[in-house]
Structure 1
Amino acid sequence: MNQCTSVMAMTAPDRIVALYAAVGQMKFGHVLCELGEDHNNDHAAMLWDEGGRPGGAVWTQWDDRGVRIAALAWCPALTPKEEACGLFADHPSAHAWDVIDPTKEALSRELAKHYRHLFPEYNEDDED
Structure 2
Amino acid sequence: MNQCTAVALLPPPDPLVALAAPGHRPEAGYVLCELGEEHDDQHAAMLWDEGGRPGSAVWVRWKGSGLGRLTSLPWCPALDPRNEACELFTAHPSPHSWGVTDPTHIAITHQLTQQHPHLFHQPRDGSESGRAPGPDPA
Q: Give me the identity figure in percent.
A: 52
Unaligned runs of at least 5 residues, structure 2:
21-25, 130-138
Counterpart residue identity of residue 89, structure 2: F
Q: Which has the larger helix fraction?
A: 1
Residues 1:68 and 2:69 are matched in the alignment: yes
1:124 corresponds in structure 2 to: 128
Retained in 2: the 8 A contact 1:55–1:71? Answer: no
Per the alignment, do residues 41 and 18 of structure 1 end up closer, same or farther by CA in structure 2, a change over 3 Å counting?
A: same
Pairwise CA distance, 1:66? 4.2
Over 4 Å off, 4+ runs: 18-21
What SS does structure 1 have at the residue aligned with 2:72? strand
Secondary structure of 1:8's counterpart equals: strand
Superposed CA RMSD? 2.8
TM-score using structure 1 length: 0.79
Instruction: State which structure, 1 or 2, has the greater radius of gyration over its C-alpha atoms.
Output: 2
Give the corresponding residue for 1:39: 39
Q: CA deviation at 1:118?
A: 2.7
SS for the counterpart of 2:5 is: coil
Q: Which runs of 5+ in 1 are unaligned?
A: none
TM-score, normalised via structure 2 length: 0.74
After superposition, give the CA deviation of every residue in 1:59-113 in whole Å (9 maximum; x if it has no partner): 0000035422111000000111111111000001111111111111011012112
1:1-128 mapped onto 2 (5 Å cutoff): 1-15=1-15, 17=16, 28-51=28-51, 53-54=53-54, 56-64=56-64, 66-120=67-121, 124=128
